[in-house]
Amino acid sequence: MKKKSLLPRALIIILIVYCLYRLITFLIVLTDKSRLNIIFYGNRPVYYSLGIGNISYVVEYSVTDKILVPGGYGYYRVGSLGKLVSLEKKPEIFKKTFSAFTGSFIDYFFYPKDVEIYHKNIGIDNTLPSFSDFFTSRSNANLIERIYLAIIFLQQDRNQLKLIDNDYTEKRNHENYYNNNLFISDNQGSFYVNSLRNEKLTVQIIYHDSYDAAALVGKIIEGQGIRVVDITKKSGQKTNSNCMISESYLKDFSKTSKTLALFFKCQMKKSKTEQSDIIFTLADIEKNWLIQ
């Protein structure tokens, strides 16, 4: 009987230790991060770029305007993105779409559990996500991350967030299309991550078929404060190899390399580099950033 009564306690202790470990690990990662970029998708899609000890920004989107969706999807109405994600079963579409528009790495995205197409804008709303929004929405954040992000937002004052007027659209066939190139150009530097910028490392991008896909990836990387010095076409037969982050033998992997590998889900290796500090070979992820 004693053994049976001790078993639930042991499981509870193990669970508590595990949660504490995950929380400590997450806090260590965040304390080394000077900016968090988060998307809240719904009837009022909003991008938050929270600067840790720096300026924080807000960008709101019209659900009736069209936005570029990388991966060969072309342009979709913002209000239909949730339906596309549901049909394709690829929540990463949120991450890629808003990374491509803002020229920044989207860390987290939240979206409704119920699929809905939004046809009407509800106007600018000064409210921030509620505490419950972090737990009732679908997300790429785990439970510990949801708790921490909810606490961060509770500490935010909407009046202290800088609103970037999102009028970066152009008219085509009586419809508005968001122009990501214009937005990135006008807001270059706003979403820099200081720790990456301070490393002052350079990146060369290697692609096989699509220069436009490689150029888009380059703009997103530069939006982090990392300098892209060259985009090179790889000759020869195409392979299905994994994307690769290669860095010089002379040192340990930099934070820049680790950040690129984490965001693009690439492998890392040590190798000789000549034109840059880091070589980013797109390989299999090139198709994920195709533009139509």
CATH number of the domain enclosing 215: 3.30.70.2390
- Residues in contact with 292: Cβ distance below 8 Å, sequence separation at least 6, in sequence order: 72, 73, 74
Together in a domain, 179 and 208: no
Going from the C-alpha of 107 to that of each of 7, 70, 173, 251, the distances in angstroms are 38, 17, 34, 27
pLDDT number for residue 210: 94
- Structural domain ending residue among the three candidates 186, 212, 230: 186
Together in a domain, 219 and 81: no
pLDDT confidence tier of residue 86, bands split at 50, 70 and 90 = very high
- Residues in contact with 32: Cβ distance below 8 Å, sequence separation at least 6, in sequence order: 195, 255
pTM of the full predicted structure?
A: 0.87
Whether residue 271 contacts residue 246, with contact meaning beta carbons closer than 8 Å, is answered with yes
Closest-CA residue to 231 (of 282, 183, 265, 184): 282
In a domain, 260, yes or no: yes
pLDDT number for residue 254: 93
Domain span at 229? 194-289
Secondary structure element (H or E) that encloses residue 17, with its range: helix 2-31
Distance, CA of 267 to CA of 126 (rounded, Å): 41
DSSP 268: E
Question: How do strand 202-207 and strand 46-51 relate by DSSP bridges?
Answer: unpaired
Together in a domain, 66 and 175: yes
3-state secondary structure at position 25: helix
Q: Give the mean pLDDT of 87-95.
A: 97
The amino acid at 103: G
Distance, CA of 103 to CA of 233 (rounded, Å): 22
pLDDT digits (tens, 9 = 90+) for 183-227: 999 999 999 999 999 999 999 999 999 999 999 999 999 999 999
Together in a domain, 88 and 232: no
Question: How do strand 227-233 and strand 35-40 relate by DSSP bridges?
Answer: unpaired
pLDDT number for residue 51: 86
Closest-CA residue to 257 (of 155, 215, 267, 176): 267
Together in a domain, 181 and 267: no
Together in a domain, 144 and 272: no
- Structural domain ending residue among the three candidates 186, 221, 245: 186
pLDDT confidence tier of residue 90, bands split at 50, 70 and 90 = very high
- Structural domain ending residue among the three candidates 152, 169, 186: 186
Total number of domains in the chain: 2
Helix axis angle for 92-102 and 211-222, nearest 10°, is 80
